Amino acid sequence: MINSIGQKPTRILRFVKMFLQSPKVMANETAKYFILKLPPFARRQLAPIERNITQNLRGFLVKDIVKNFSVTEKFINLYMPSQTPLDWSKSNWKEFAAGLAPLGRMYVEFALTTVVRGRDMVSLLESHSYIRRKDRYLDIGTGYGGFLRAFRDAGFNEVIGIELNQNLANYAQANIDGLQNAQVLTGDFVKDDFSSLGSFDVITCNDVIEHVDDPALAIQRMSALVNDDGCLFLKVPNKDHIAFVKSDGHFKIFGLTQLLKNNAADYYAACLGKEKTEYYYQMGEMYQLDFYVRQLSGNGLSAIVVDTPADISIDDVAHSMDDLKQAYAAWQQEKKPDLNQEIAQKVVIAVENYMNELELAYYKITDDASKKQFSDRYLQSFWNIVAFRHPFD
């Protein structure tokens, strides 16, 4: 039929228009594919219909994303156009996501799961009875704003998010659209004075502290805003987790987490082939678990590490170490030759020191205490730390 359009254009195009304008077809991505296969002159004739079909499919996709992730349509319409290239010819999330590149899909899914992750946070805190009162909630580095919606839905009377990045603040504002007693403030939590906000029953800083230049000061300021009998929750990525050394959680770069901030920034820029003035690298120094616990305790809070299952079992450590060695060998062969010699050598030294320490610690496991210490250091991808302010301390 497609080939015959060139022979009898008027009659067949009239039939095609009638067919494509039926309600069921207008919402079908096959119709979009059909139009794309038509000759150029026919596509020009059907351009208005093609636009309508695309718009309908986009509407179905948006509704499916809302259904799957509980974000607002306003958020989707603001966020999605910033992610290119996007194929709006798909009418549901599953098919749409299948067409995304792996790294792009990771970023998009992280944004869309913002409310889901917020609900998971509420569930974690409630399951351990860490929430003593549901009055005021503060989210530091609120990002896409899903935690604000999740905590408001959980019964908190007031929710406030603070976000440094204006674009992210706009996304967060879109995600709390329609919520009462919810707001997003733009500013630098470490440099700006937010003491006028008062105190809060729950404060969260989720996967944010590793981006801060001065985490000790950030923790000090967060601690000062914790209400009596309130809690501060930190979720911190573990730089020494075996899988993160193989491929870090933010940029998927081998060995990145083992470098000091400035060296990591140079390595990141080199991997992306950018000039140093152009690179986008928003990471601070990354520390081990005891650093964060000490900082919280030093600011008058009682800190505990939430016991969560490790991502890698002790029985799988040997296999994971072999995987890491293979990844290192592949990096030396495929990536190292393209790097500046000085940067490459810093990666080599850092990774080999890490692997030696990992292997030594593994063979020193003798009892449950040493097993727990090893697990916290190398097998836990994220540390969940809760710190309380007791009213009579």
Looking at the predicted structure, is the pLDDT value of residue 278 above 70?
Answer: no
| In a domain? residue 27 | yes
Confidence label for 255 from pLDDT (cuts 50, 70 and 90): very high
| In a domain? residue 141 | no
| In a domain? residue 63 | yes
Integer Cα distance of 110 and 53 in angstroms: 29
Confidence label for 302 from pLDDT (cuts 50, 70 and 90): very high
Looking at the predicted structure, is the pLDDT value of residue 37 above 70?
Answer: no
Give the model confidence (pLDDT) of 53-68 as tens digits: 555 557 778 889 999 9
Looking at the predicted structure, is the pLDDT value of residue 69 above 80?
Answer: yes
pTM strictly above 0.95: no
φ/ψ of 129, rounded to 5, equals 60, 40
Whether 236 and 313 have beta carbons less than 8 Å apart is answered as: no
Looking at the predicted structure, is the pLDDT value of residue 369 above 70?
Answer: yes
| In a domain? residue 62 | yes
Q: Quick count: other Cβ atoms within 10 Å of Cβ 235?
A: 19
| In a domain? residue 14 | yes
| In a domain? residue 92 | no
| In a domain? residue 187 | no
| In a domain? residue 36 | yes
Kindly state the average pLDDT of the residues 191-218. 95
3-state secondary structure of 52: helix
Distance (Å) of CA 271 to CA 211, 340, 344, 349, 369: 19, 10, 11, 18, 39
Whether 299 and 289 have beta carbons less than 8 Å apart is answered as: no
Whether 189 and 143 have beta carbons less than 8 Å apart is answered as: no
Integer Cα distance of 77 and 232 in angstroms: 33
Percent of the chain, pLDDT > 90?
65
Looking at the predicted structure, is the pLDDT value of residue 280 above 70?
Answer: no
Distance (Å) of CA 337 to CA 62, 268, 382: 44, 15, 32
Instruction: Write down the mean pLDDT value for the chain.
Output: 86
Domain boundaries, position 25: 2-70
Looking at the predicted structure, is the pLDDT value of residue 391 above 60?
Answer: yes
Kindly state the average pLDDT of the residues 184-202. 96
If one counts the domains in the chain, the total is 1
